[in-house]
């Protein structure tokens, strides 16, 4: 039996780093856009070939923490698929739950990475978005924990998976994808009482509760009513707020040396939280939750300090031995 199974997306990620010209663009959420001359050839400064997708990213965190880990996802039968499997195996992640199809190519992203660590992603979802219940081998899915993040067609698996987890006493951590929230919000709400942990960012929390994040306490009150377990709401470089139903924990971030690439911050935080929580037993004490927040934050900072979603993922010993990750202020208040 595995300790942890991650269920979700799998991609081949290729980064092209360059000094791309920026222009103001009021239609872009950041207010900026790359301006690449149409019909021309451009040289880039560096390339990095990595893997991504939340199931793969989270699996690397768990494997580097010493857990017997499997990744359940769907890829094609092509060269990127071979490269994807080879990378996971190198990390010690079991790949027998990765299903392969010749109907669609492996999901593939090109990430145009700026010198400032921001990126524009051109993503093809391919095989990953066709991941469905019939691709899963349920008997092999029994484990202590699942890390769940479903995109595309795979969001249909959400409620059946949660039923299976409940019957088999599997603790489920859920990180909803933007696609899932947009298309199946009502269904997401129905499953929240079966979760051990929900990790999401601030705008996703506002979207799910229908409450503006200006009323932070109200958002948490509603999330606590809906989610059986712990709720962690991330806010990028501002840090995180966590509720265990009794206490609210607030933390900033471990100051990064330099943001090289912010890809994978969310996944490294969410999976990092589970990697520590899984060391403790229910009911989780405030100390267990603080330990989870500290590692999740350290893991995210380390990940944004290198290119790719998994390169910087910390090993258990690195986290426990390096004095850099020792002191971290976490404020706790009664709810
Ligand atoms: N620049 C940063 N430096 C250090 N830590 C960061 C940085 N950005 C994010 N983090 C940490 O990672 C956590 C998750 O980040 P964020 O809230 O951006 O997730 P997200 O919106 O799900 O991101 P993603 O785009 O990866 O899905 C934050 O709560 C914070 O602890
Ligand atoms: Mg995210």
pLDDT of residue 117: 87
Q: How would DSSP label each residue in 309-334?
A: SSTTPPPHHHHHH-GGGT---EEEEE
pLDDT band at 303 (very low <50, low <70, confident <90, very high): very high
User: How is residue 94 annotated by DSSP?
Assistant: B
Domains of the chain: 2-334 (3.40.1190.20)
Centre of ligand 2 from the C-alpha of residue 201, in Å: 6
Centre of ligand 2 from the C-alpha of residue 175, in Å: 7
Q: In this structure, which residue's CA is closest to atom 16 in ligand 1?
A: 236
Centre of ligand 1 from the C-alpha of residue 235, in Å: 6
Token pair listed for 122: 């051109």
Q: How would DSSP label each residue in 12-62?
A: EEEEEE----EEE-TTSTTSEEE-PPTT-----SEEEEEEESHHHHHHHHH
The whole-angstrom separation of Cα 274 and Cα 132 is 24
The whole-angstrom separation of Cα 252 and Cα 126 is 36
Q: What is the pTM of this model?
A: 0.96
- pLDDT, tens digit (0-9, with 9 covering 90-100), for 102-130: 999 999 999 999 988 899 999 999 999 99
- pLDDT, tens digit (0-9, with 9 covering 90-100), for 143-160: 999 999 998 889 999 999
Centre of ligand 2 from the C-alpha of residue 33, in Å: 21
| Residue 92 region by backbone torsions, left for phi larger than 0, else alpha for psi between -120 and 50, else beta | left
Ligand 1 interacting residues, C-beta cut-off 6 A: 201, 234-237, 239-240, 253, 256, 259, 262, 264-267, 269, 297, 300-301, 304
End-to-end CA distance of the chain: 38
Backbone CA torsion sign across 29, 54, 316, 247: positive
Checking if the pLDDT of 217 tops 90, the result is no
pLDDT of residue 133: 95
Q: Which ligand is nearest to the CA of 269?
A: 1
Cα 147 to its chain centre, rounded Å, is: 9
Q: In this structure, which residue's CA is closest to atom 30 in ligand 1?
A: 239
Token pair listed for 259: 């943001």
To test the ligand 1 pocket, which listed residue (178, 236, 240, 325) has its Cβ within 8 A of the most ligand atoms?
236
Sorted by sequence, the CB contacts under 8 Å of residue 114 that are 6+ apart come out as 17, 18, 19, 20, 22
- Strand-pairing partners, residue 99, are 74
Cα 114 to its chain centre, rounded Å, is: 22
| Residue that wins the pLDDT comparison between 335 and 49 | 49
| Residue that wins the pLDDT comparison between 151 and 16 | 16
pLDDT of residue 331: 98
Q: In this structure, which residue's CA is closest to atom 28 in ligand 1?
A: 236
pLDDT of residue 128: 95
- pLDDT, tens digit (0-9, with 9 covering 90-100), for 245-287: 999 999 999 999 999 999 999 999 999 999 999 999 999 999 9
For all residues of the chain together, what is the average pLDDT? 96
Task: Please state the rounded mean pLDDT for residues 158-185.
Answer: 95
Q: In this structure, which residue's CA is closest to atom 6 in ligand 1?
A: 237
To test the ligand 1 pocket, which listed residue (179, 269, 276) has its Cβ within 8 A of the most ligand atoms?
269
pLDDT band at 176 (very low <50, low <70, confident <90, very high): very high
- pLDDT, tens digit (0-9, with 9 covering 90-100), for 312-335: 999 999 999 999 999 999 999 998
**Which atom of ligand 1 is the closest one to the Cα of 309?**
26
**Which atom of ligand 1 is the closest one to the Cα of 117?**
1
Q: In this structure, which residue's CA is closest to atom 1 in ligand 1?
A: 237
User: How is residue 156 annotated by DSSP?
Assistant: G
């Amino acid at each position: 039996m595995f300790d942890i199974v991650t269920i979700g997306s799998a991609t081949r990620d290729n980064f092209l780093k360059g000094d791309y010209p920026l222009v103001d663009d009021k239609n872009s959420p950041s207010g900026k856009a790359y301006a690449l001359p149409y019909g021309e050839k451009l040289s880039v400064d560096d390339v990095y070939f990595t893997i991504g997708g939340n199931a793969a990213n989270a699996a690397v965190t768990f494997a580097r923490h010493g857990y017997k880990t499997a990744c359940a996802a769907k890829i094609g039968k092509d060269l990127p698929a071979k490269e994807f499997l080879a990378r996971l195996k190198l990390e010690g992640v079991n790949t027998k739950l990765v299903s392969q199809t010749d109907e669609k190519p492996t999901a593939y992203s090109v990430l145009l990475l700026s010198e400032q660590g921001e990126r524009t992603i051109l993503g093809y979802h391919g095989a990953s978005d066709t991941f469905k219940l019939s691709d899963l081998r349920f008997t092999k899915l029994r484990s202590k924990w699942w890390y769940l993040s479903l995109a595309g067609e795979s969001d249909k698996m959400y409620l059946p998976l949660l039923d299976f987890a409940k019957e088999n006493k599997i603790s489920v951590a859920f990180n909803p994808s933007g696609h899932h929230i947009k298309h199946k919000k009502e269904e997401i709400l129905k499953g929240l009482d079966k979760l051990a942990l929900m990790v999401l960012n601030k705008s996703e929390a506002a979207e799910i509760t229908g409450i503006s994040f200006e009323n932070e306490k109200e958002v948490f009150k509603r999330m606590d009513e809906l989610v059986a377990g712990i709720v962690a709401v991330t806010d990028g470089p501002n840090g995180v707020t966590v509720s265990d139903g009794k206490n609210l924990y607030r933390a900033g971030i471990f100051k990064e040396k330099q943001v090289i690439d912010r890809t994978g911050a969310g996944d490294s935080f969410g999976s990092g939280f589970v990697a520590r929580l899984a060391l403790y037993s229910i009911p989780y004490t405030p100390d267990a939750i603080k330990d989870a927040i500290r590692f999740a934050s350290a893991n995210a900072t380390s990940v944004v300090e290198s290119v790719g979603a998994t390169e910087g993922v910390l090993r258990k010993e690195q986290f426990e031995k390096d004095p850099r990750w020792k002191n971290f202020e976490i404020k706790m208040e009664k709810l």
